[in-house]
Structure 1
Amino acid sequence: MAETATDELAPDFDEQAVVEAAQDGDREALSLLYDHYFPRVYRYVSARLSSTEDAEDVTTEIFLRVIENLRSFSFRGLPFGAWVFRIARNEVVSFVRRRKVRSQVAPLTDTIPDPAPDHTEEVHTALTMEVVRAATAKLPEAQRQVIELRFGAGLSVAETARVLGKTENTVKVLQHKAIAKLQTMVPLQ
Structure 2
Amino acid sequence: MKPQASPKILPAMAEPETLRLARAGDRDAFADLYNEHRGAVYTFIQRKVYNPHLADDLTQDVFVRALSRLETYAWQGRGFGAWLNTIARNLVTDHFKRSSTRRETTVAEMFDADEVVASAEEAALDHLSRAERRAAVATALAFLSPGQRAVLERRYLQDMSVQEAAASMNTTTGAVKTMTYRAMQAATGRLAPLRGAA
1:183 has 2:188 as partner: yes
Partner of 1:17 in structure 2?
A: 17
In 2, Cα distance between equivalents of 1:65 and 1:146: 30
Offset at residue 93 of structure 1 (A): 0.9
In 1, Cα distance between equivalents of 2:187 and 2:165: 19
Greater shift in the superposed pair: 75-84 or 20-29: 75-84
Offset at residue 30 of structure 1 (A): 0.4
Q: Deviations over 1:86-137 (max 9, x none)?
A: 11111111111111121x276xxx499448xxxxxxxxxxxxxx79x83655
TM-score, with length taken from structure 1: 0.59
Higher Rg: 2
Q: Deviations over 1:40-97 (max 9, x none)?
A: 1111111111222211111111111111111111222432111111111111111111
Partner of 1:168 in structure 2?
A: 169
Quick check: 2:154–2:165 contact (8 Å CA) kept in 1?
yes
In 1, Cα distance between equivalents of 2:56 and 2:76: 30
Partner of 1:124 in structure 2?
A: none
Quick check: 2:45–2:59 contact (8 Å CA) kept in 1?
yes
Offset at residue 181 of structure 1 (A): 4.3
Aligned ranges 1:87-106 → 2 under 5 Å:
87-102=87-102, 104=103
TM-score, with length taken from structure 2: 0.57
Q: Classify 1:160/1:88 alpha carbon distance in 2 versus 1 (closer, same or farther; 3 Å).
A: farther
Structure 2 residues not aligned, in runs of 5+: 1-13, 117-129
Number of residue pairs aligned between Structure 1 and Structure 2: 149
Identity of aligned pairs, percent?
30
What is the aligned-residue RMSD (CA, Å)? 4.1
Structure 1 residues not aligned, in runs of 5+: 1-13, 116-129, 162-166
In 1, Cα distance between equivalents of 2:15 and 2:151: 24
Letter in 2 for 1:183: T
Aligned ranges 1:35-114 → 2 under 5 Å:
35-102=35-102, 104=103, 110=109, 113-114=114-115
Greater shift in the superposed pair: 33-42 or 149-158: 149-158
